A = this chain, B = another copy of it.
Amino acid sequence: MRRPDGELEEEKVFKDPVHRYIHVRDELIWDLIGTKEFQRLRRIRQLGTTYVTFHGAEHTRFNHSLGVYEIMRRMVENLEKKGKWDADERLVCLASALLHDVGHGPFSHSFEKIFHMDHEKWTREIILGDTEINSVLRRMDDDFPLKVADVIAKTYDNKLLVSLISSQIDADRMDYLLRDAFYTGVSYGQFDMERILRVMRADEDQAVFKHSGMHAVEDYIMSRYQMYWQVYFHPVTRSAEVILSKILHRAKELLAQDYAFKLTPHHFLSMFNGKVTLRDYLKMDESVILFYFQEWEEEEDSILKDLCSRFMHRHLFKYVECDPSKQMVIWQELRDLYQKIGLDPDYYLVIDSSSDLPYDFYRAGEKDERVPIHLLMPDGKLRELSRESDLVESISGKKRTDHKLYYPKDLLMDQTEFPEEKQRIMALLVNQEG
């Protein structure tokens, strides 16, 4: 028998390949994990289409969310020992960590772009709306759901607490770097989290790190830098994402044209017309998406059919580097040639850009300003990380962008029809790269 909203009679553990064990001793956390909105995260992969590049990366947001919770649990335990921690905030903190991604849908990146949705808004609705999660949270207190939602939205009063879950070095980032490195099999994501947690101290409005642990923090920043370019922005992954976006785009367009689908896409209707209810949203998961894509392989519309088939069977677009400034010169020629050979350039000639700002210090007045990481010096003063670390300084504030132009090389290589135009297209594309 459990004590209501207290501790479980016996601590529960989850075996976790990254943190070895995930420990739960609070009934609140245990019951949140059991809600259907949280269980739904099992049907949404953490890294979207990355599995087409790194076959090991089949882990879900459920998996990651438990990990973020566990890191937060260890952070709080450490800060409690150091004595600068408000014990009342413990559960707010743990619940926020567990739920911070609960509003994610399948392949969020593409969905948000095409349907103008925002997983942060959905996270808030799930926490505050008529859900099992809300009902579990309210057992604590009527205000409790709002506290959790505010922490996740970064609007909560206690900025220290906010910084533990969303800052340039937080429980979320630490878990995903370690976890994504583990599942993809790349070694770049490794860093010494145990050390970072040990040198973490509570300052007034953010967590800071003892100077003696600077190298562990540097190593974390480098891991993040490497993971972005080696894993998250991998061009093959982006090819699958481009196709996925174009499928959603096409389906939306067909619906707008009153195209007669063989299977009516009930699950998409409210998305397409922009009136998605929470209930609709929660039904969306990767199974649903993949079910429709499989069905749509047999649609009449040749574009929808082709793109779905590409996505399901991993017949991806190829890519060339592209320099957007230079590209404009040949852009119109390429589109014209596409039209001639009967390929719609809106679907088959796609630029995708990724960019990353691996670390930044505060720049007054800029939007998206980031709270910098501070080191706690032996003399008790704080010092911004990049002023102490040459490595971090070298990448601070440097945004790096990568542009790729995606196209269906298989169709262009098959020159039984329009050989001249296709050769010209290929020449322009290759030339593009230089």
Contacts and interface: CB of A to CB of B under 8 A. Distances in A.
A391 B188 CA distance: 14
Contact of A39 (B18, B182, B313): B313
A281 interface: no
Contacts of A390: 394-395, 398, 400
Nearest to A290: B287
A205 interface: no
A15 interface: yes
Interface stretch (A54-62, A153-161, A253-261, A342-350): A54-62
Nearest to A315: B34
A225 interface: yes
Interface in A277-291: 283, 285-291
Interface stretch (A91-99, A189-197, A331-339): A189-197
Interface stretch (A111-119, A214-222, A360-368): A214-222
A323 to B, nearest CB: 16
Nearest to A309: B36
A133 interface: no
B17 A182 contact: yes
Given A14-B55, A36-B313, A215-B230, 20 more contacts: A15-B54, A16-B55, A17-B183, A18-B185, A21-B194, A21-B198, A35-B313, A39-B314, A42-B58, A55-B62, A55-B63, A58-B63, A187-B192, A285-B290, A287-B289, A287-B291, A390-B394, A390-B398, A390-B400, A393-B394
Contacts of A294: 283, 285, 287-288
A68 interface: no
A394 to B, nearest CB: 3
A60 B58 contact: yes
Interface string A222-234: 1001100110000
Contact of A17 (B184, B194, B393, B394): B184
A182 to B, nearest CB: 7
A190 B192 contact: no
A303 interface: no
21 contacts: A14-B55, A15-B185, A16-B185, A17-B182, A18-B56, A20-B194, A36-B313, A42-B55, A42-B58, A55-B62, A55-B63, A58-B60, A219-B226, A225-B391, A285-B290, A287-B287, A287-B290, A287-B291, A390-B394, A390-B395, A391-B395
Interface in A29-67: 34-36, 39, 42-43, 51, 54-56, 58-60, 62-63, 66
A183 B219 CA distance: 19
Interface string A391-406: 1011100101000000
A191 B185 contact: no
Contacts of A218: 226
Contact of A186 (B15, B230, B286, B291): B15
A330 interface: no
A283 B31 CA distance: 36
A42 to B, nearest CB: 7
A290 B391 contact: no
A269 interface: no
A341 interface: no
Contacts of A59: 56, 58
A414 B198 CA distance: 33
Contacts of A357: none
A349 to B, nearest CB: 22
Interface string A5-28: 000000001111110110000000
